[in-house]
Structure 1
Amino acid sequence: MRALLAFTGSRGDAQPGILLARALIARGHRVTLALAPNLVGFATEHGVPAVGFGCDSAALLRAQRTDARFGARNPWARVRAVLDLQRRGVPEMVADLRELVPGHEVVVAGMAGEEAAAVVAREAGVPFAAMHFFPIQATTVVPVVPARWAERIPGVVHRWGWSVLARARAAALAPVLPAGEPPVRVRIQAYDPALFPGLRDELPGPFTGFPVDVDGVLTTPPTADHRCDDLRIDGPHGSAEGSLPSTETIRAAGDSPFDTTVAVRRWLAAGSAPIYVGFGSMDVGDPVALVAMLRAVCARRGLRLLLASGWAAIPPSLDAEVAVVDQVDHAEVLPQCVAAVHHGGAGTTAAALRAGVPQVICSVQADQPYWGQALQRLGLAATAPARTLTAARLGALLDRISTPDVRRRATDYAATFTTDGVARAADSVEALAPITSEFVHAAGRLP
């Protein structure tokens, strides 16, 4: 099988595509992995060849932050800003994918860019699969508005609301996308439907579960030597085996995830369980103010702080009470934390669920507030919009999840968490591919 995988968006959007590509390649398939240009290096550094398509996703996020219309009092100005954002980069995606698709037998995309990839699959006459990391299709069980009051609205209203949103998005994209459907279209539900009671009865699936990075391959370079105990790191009192790494050591490590991993391991072993905070690729506003607030909240609770800065401009640093690093291996680190405070991206949400750690979801955009509300309904998390976060409010949210009942529910859910989501998604993609000759008489750009 020759598969074209098109996963644009932030790193959280790209990571499932990279994991799926690895799984398909391991099964002997030929895969072209297309990512936003700014994430091609991330994939190739972790052993998965990739090509760029569309626009730089970080630039699109910055454009959204700097567009004054999103904060305008005039609602029509905000609507126009949203519609412009929906269309931005779509023609470039379609053009790039048209060049890539010849020679492929199936096209797969993530939620971001799904419509553009579907158009290209239709034009090529090949089956199409979209990986949904959240239930965005019209149902009665997912409130169309991510708020507690919306849970009291009849389900039929939610179904109608989701249908209206889908038609509005289609209308926004119509000027830049040709109409039509691919010959076969499957929506892979890449999350746990148990988090939305009744959903399995309304969506056809397939339901594969979260596409988690089981082996941590995307947080540790493939060339890294895993014998971490043999590495010497300078501590605050000189160089010593097993000593606490210093701020200078973290800074000297620069962009080396391996050195950071070792530092975090030793920092975790040197003190009490911390609160984990991470906002991925989301805008955190004033990073200096954020770190100061987090330090104050954790100090008031007598807890240490582990902050994964992601795409935020927060310099790495480390002392006995606070560690600031670029990224961490969620599977390794989160089980050692007392709570996880994050933006509510599907990947981070899944990692915290798998770790059995209570969560505070401070949503920024897209599906994040829906995850916050869903987990709050099940007693697994507390949630609030990130823009409303203050030291007092964060403290109150942490109080709500720091109870035996929440910890028990989180632990119980972790015991049921399945880790074969990537493999099951690969099964679904394989089922779409027609039985053809090994040789396809069309030229495609294959890595």
Structure 2
Amino acid sequence: MDGCGGDGRRPRAVFMAFGTHGDVFPIAALAAAFSLDQQQYSVVFITHSAHQNLSAHLAASNVRYMPVSSPPVLAAKQLENIAYGSVESNAEYESFSRRKETIQIEHREECLSYVEEVFGNDPSIRSDFIVINFFALEGWHLAELFQVKCIIAAPYFVPYSAPTSFERQFKQSFPLLYKYFQEAPTNTVCWTDIAHWMWALFMETWGSWRNDCLNLSPIPYTVSDPVTNLPLWHVRAESPLLLYGFSKEIVERPGYWPSSAHVCGFWFLPMAWQFSCDNCRGLLCGNVNPSSEGILCGNHSGLEHYLMGSSYSSLPIFIGLSSIGSMGFLRNPKAFLMVIKAVIESTDYRFILFSSGYQPLDSAIRFVASSVPESSELEATALSCDSTLLFNSRLFCFSGSIPYSWLFPKCAAAIHHAGSGSTAAALFAGIPQVACPFLLDQFYWAERLHWLGVAPEPLKRQHLVPDVDDTLSINNAADVLLGAIRSALSPEIKAQATRIAHRLAPEDGVGEALRTLKEKVLCE
């Protein structure tokens, strides 16, 4: 690679992130922060077209948005809609696995096309790089193709682990390569890197793509000498920089992690990115201290009154499951609402439910609202089209979005899916939590919250979102949920949540990631 922009050309940085909101948006925040800090760079962000709402925010930070057509979640129903528009309108039905394979091929073609557009016309320079999350491993292979550095950035620890037989099979299949990694000098790629996360780069699904489409060796780190046809193992690659977007106060860095792994602190989005209402954004983002005070726009005065009204004797409890519905886990939205109703009927708690715009849940909310007329002080307050009151005005349903940093300090506790973003926001707000994990790293975060003493034992899925809405299932779920809420609101858990929030307050995760990136990657 050439020097650092010696020909006067702007260095290039590609940020590539795939997955749902919590997987993608923190990486976008890093891209925006980097672009504003390093204005000599040409910065692009590659992600799903479903995250189109990022484009304006990124453009404001001089980041070019490049959308790929693959969906963030490959749920069976989504695949049918993508392939056909509707099942009834098609004579033939493609299997889930076949359609998934087709989407994967198209996805990789689009990734190659975009990265080639960025790096393909000019030789790379030392300061060019690609940043990927763990669901964008295409970027690693493309970085090798275009001879640029690759950095990994993740708002959570590795969301998947190697198969138990991986090391044994790797050693049997590639004994010399295994020895090469085991004997690696300090700060070069070694078996610790492979075992921690890089094992996924060696799976068969990548080999054919590398060989057939990228003209690379099917196995990483086995480039052959053109004369001897032997692997160039005397060339030792530097251990790749790995940036983690969580706090050392919450996750202690194990000694067996690669030395190149850096724990930066939680990565929060710019506040302006977190509003569905432009008027609320204008009011709150102009506030001197928006995390604790602020006035919503007139259309959302009902939400503000529900949160801050003097007529209420207690704070509401937040409930939100983010992308869980779109991932296929919220199969019976009515049952979910009935569980909340059962808790309300046996307590004096109030709740605020964020539906995250999940259409089946919003439909269930509208159905319940239309069948039971409400009467309360808030009835006279005109609610916006994204707000609905249920169950004697003790459940406020909101399909829009507003920053958790503003919302959570006005809540008594947060019930959520243990996603990294919700977890971090509640920790910073210093409120108790009730976690109900569904997949991947959510189980870790849920257990971690309990271990830290800021949450009771994690809920099982059926105790928050049962699949059936018979009376027995609803009552059983409500009993367990109520017990978890009461435990979360105990003086001990509330005090511990406050203590941890004080320890986290000085952290600036995005700023620390930016400093590390500049120190480790940029030219001096």
Is the shorter-chain TM-score for this pair beyond 0.5, marking a shared fold? yes
Structure exhibiting the larger radius of gyration computed from Cα positions: 2
* Distance (Å, rounded) in 2 between the aligned partners of 1:433 and 1:123: 19
Corresponding position of 1:212:
268
Corresponding position of 2:70:
55
Please say if 1:193 is aligned against 2:248: yes
Deviation at 1:385, TM superposition (A): 3.0
> What letter is aligned with 1:289?
A
State how 1:288-437 maps to structure 2 within 5 Å. Answer: 288-313=334-359, 314-315=361-362, 316-319=386-389, 320-326=393-399, 327-382=401-456, 383-389=458-464, 390-417=477-504, 418-435=506-523
TM-score, scaled relative to structure 2: 0.63
How big is each residue's C-alpha offset from its partner over 1:230-264, in whole Å with a ceiling of 9 and x where there is no partner? Answer: xxxxxxxxxxxxx9xxxxxxxxxxxxx96775542
The alignment partner of 1:26 has SS state of helix
Corresponding position of 2:165:
none
TM-score, scaled relative to structure 1: 0.73
Deviation at 1:196, TM superposition (A): 3.2
The alignment partner of 1:384 has SS state of coil
CA contact (8 A) 1:275 1:337 kept: yes
* Distance (Å, rounded) in 2 between the aligned partners of 1:429 and 1:87: 34
State how 1:84-95 maps to structure 2 within 5 Å. Answer: 89-95=103-109
Please say if 1:265 is aligned against 2:320: no
Deviation at 1:299, TM superposition (A): 4.0
> What letter is aligned with 1:269?
M
Deviates more, 1:322-331 or 1:51-60: 51-60
> What letter is aligned with 2:44?
T
Q: Aligned to 1:277, which of 291, 308, 319?
A: 319
> What letter is aligned with 2:451?
R
Please provide the CA RMSD for this pair. Answer: 3.7
CA contact (8 A) 1:111 1:133 kept: no
Corresponding position of 2:113:
99
Corresponding position of 1:287:
333
* Distance (Å, rounded) in 2 between the aligned partners of 1:57 and 1:23: 24
For structure 1, the residue ranges without an aligned partner over 5 or more in a row are 67-79, 140-158, 229-242, 244-256, 437-447
Change over 3 Å in CA distance of 1:100–1:65 after alignment to 2: closer
CA contact (8 A) 1:87 1:173 kept: no
Q: Aligned to 1:135, which of 151, 157, 160?
A: 157
* Distance (Å, rounded) in 2 between the aligned partners of 1:345 and 1:62: 23
Change over 3 Å in CA distance of 1:189–1:88 after alignment to 2: farther
* Distance (Å, rounded) in 2 between the aligned partners of 1:412 and 1:19: 27
* Distance (Å, rounded) in 2 between the aligned partners of 1:65 and 1:169: 29
- Between 1 and 2, higher relative CO (CA 8 Å, sep ≥ 6) is seen in 1
Q: Aligned to 1:8, which of 4, 18, 22?
A: 18
CA contact (8 A) 1:54 1:90 kept: no
Deviates more, 1:204-213 or 1:93-102: 93-102
> What letter is aligned with 1:407?
K
Corresponding position of 1:25:
35
CA contact (8 A) 2:316 2:352 kept: yes
Deviates more, 1:34-43 or 1:174-183: 174-183
CA contact (8 A) 1:4 1:34 kept: yes
> What letter is aligned with 1:180?
P
* Distance (Å, rounded) in 2 between the aligned partners of 1:88 and 1:413: 46
CA contact (8 A) 2:354 2:398 kept: yes
Change over 3 Å in CA distance of 1:301–1:358 after alignment to 2: same
Identity of aligned residues (%): 19
CA contact (8 A) 2:159 2:441 kept: no
How big is each residue's C-alpha offset from its partner over 1:373-394, in whole Å with a ceiling of 9 and x where there is no partner? Answer: 1111121113123244311221
> What letter is aligned with 1:351?
A
Please say if 1:37 is aligned against 2:49: yes
CA contact (8 A) 1:282 1:312 kept: no
Corresponding position of 2:88:
none
How big is each residue's C-alpha offset from its partner over 1:155-208, in whole Å with a ceiling of 9 and x where there is no partner? Answer: xxxx99x95997578536345542326876211111113323452674432111
Deviates more, 1:40-49 or 1:188-197: 40-49
Corresponding position of 2:469:
none
Change over 3 Å in CA distance of 1:426–1:434 after alignment to 2: closer
